[in-house]
Amino acid sequence: MKLRLLPALVAITFLNLTAAAAEPPLAKFAAGEVANFTAHAEPRPLEAIAFQDADGAERSLADFEGQVVLVNLWATWCAPCRHEMPSLDRLAEAIDDPDFSLVAISLDRSGADKAKAFLDEIGVENLDFYIDPTARTGMRLQAFGLPVTILIGRSGRELGRLVGPAEWDSEEAQDLIRAALAGGS
């Protein structure tokens, strides 16, 4: 009887170890305010995207090469986006690391003035302004709703994403970003 149980116990142990090994490295940080963050088992390539800064100059994710980047796609007409923007502003202040950039890209088709006015209205002080008035960035990054926030590793590959709003200045969100900074991917 004991010999029959041994193979079953070995199989169960193996399956448990395999499942634990397959868990994406950042998955354990998807908790609390960022519980909806979906970490990828392997970093995923991203399509090239183009957007503009506050001066209208063309920018791309390549401008942030070698950094961990949190890309947030938002619009002024998106109520959840409007709600989470102050927490993104506080996050930008809280994580003062030269290897981290927070890139909040407005997808407002009505132009930069409306988006800038909203950020001024809520007192944003720590976020740089970026916009893609064509909204192609959302399509290329497969954002089928807003807000969408994508965590990108130093390699320029997507580590994971969160669809919907979050309190980005929460301890859990900061732990997630610090783990990405420590992980080096």
pLDDT at 146: 98
pLDDT, tens digit only, all 185 positions of the chain: 555 554 444 444 444 444 445 689 999 999 999 999 999 999 999 999 999 999 999 999 999 999 999 999 999 999 999 999 999 999 999 999 999 999 999 999 988 999 999 999 999 999 999 999 999 999 999 999 999 999 999 999 999 999 999 999 999 999 999 999 998 56
The CATH fold assigned to 24-183 is Glutaredoxin (3.40.30)
**Edge-to-edge order in the sheet of strand 100-106:** 38-44, 158-163, 148-152, 68-74, 100-106, 130-131, 50-53, 58-60
pLDDT, residue 22, reads 66
pTM above 0.95, yes or no: no
Structure-derived torsion over alpha carbons of residues 147, 143, 127, 166, reported in degrees to the nearest 10 = 30
CA-based nearest residue to 174, from 91, 50, 85 = 91
**Which pairs count as long-range contacts for 140-145, CB under 8 Å and 24+ apart, including other chains?**
140/47, 140/48, 140/49, 141/46, 141/47, 141/49, 141/71, 141/73, 143/73
For 156-184, how does the pLDDT look when each residue is reduced to its tens digit (9 = 90+)?
999 999 999 999 999 999 999 999 999 85
Query: Would you state the pLDDT for residue 135?
Result: 94
CB count in 10 Å sphere of residue 52 = 18
Collect all residues with Cβ–Cβ distance below 8 Å to 140 and sequence separation of at least 6: 47, 48, 49
pLDDT at 17: 41
